Amino acid sequence: MIVATYLAWANTRRLLGALAPLLKAAPLSKRVVSRLVRTLKTKLEAWWSLSLAGLEVLGLYLDALALRVRSAGKVVSVPVLGVVAVLTDGQKQLLALELCPGGETFEAWKGCLDDLVTRGLAPPVWCVIDGHPGLRKAVGLVWPPALVQRCCVHKLRNLERKAPKHALAEIRADFHLSGSKTSCARPSRPPAAR
Please state the φ and ψ torsions of residue 186, each to the nearest 5 degrees. Answer: -120, 90
d(CA 45, CA 77): 23
Lowest mean pLDDT among 5-9, 100-104, 149-153, 179-183: 179-183
> In the beta sheet, which residues pair with residue 171?
none
pLDDT at 16: 66
Give the span between the Cα atoms of 165 and 60, in whole angstroms: 33
Average pLDDT over every residue of 70-86: 87
Q: What band does 126 get if pLDDT is binned at 50, 70 and 90?
A: very high
Measured CA to CA, the distance from residue 21 to residue 105 in angstroms comes to: 45
Q: Greater confidence, 96 or 47?
A: 96
Instruction: Give the mean pLDDT of the chain.
Output: 79
Burial class (CB in 10 A: 0-12, 13-18, 19+), 133: exposed
Average pLDDT over residues 110-114: 96
Residues 113/139, Cβ–Cβ less than 8 Å: yes
What average pLDDT does range 88-98 have in this prediction? 92
Residue 94 CA to residue 101 CA, distance in Å, equals 21
**Would you say how long the chain is, in residues?**
194
pLDDT at residue 36 tops 70: yes
- d(CA 82, CA 98) in angstroms, rounded, equals 7
> Taking 80 as the threshold, does the pLDDT of residue 134 lie above it?
yes
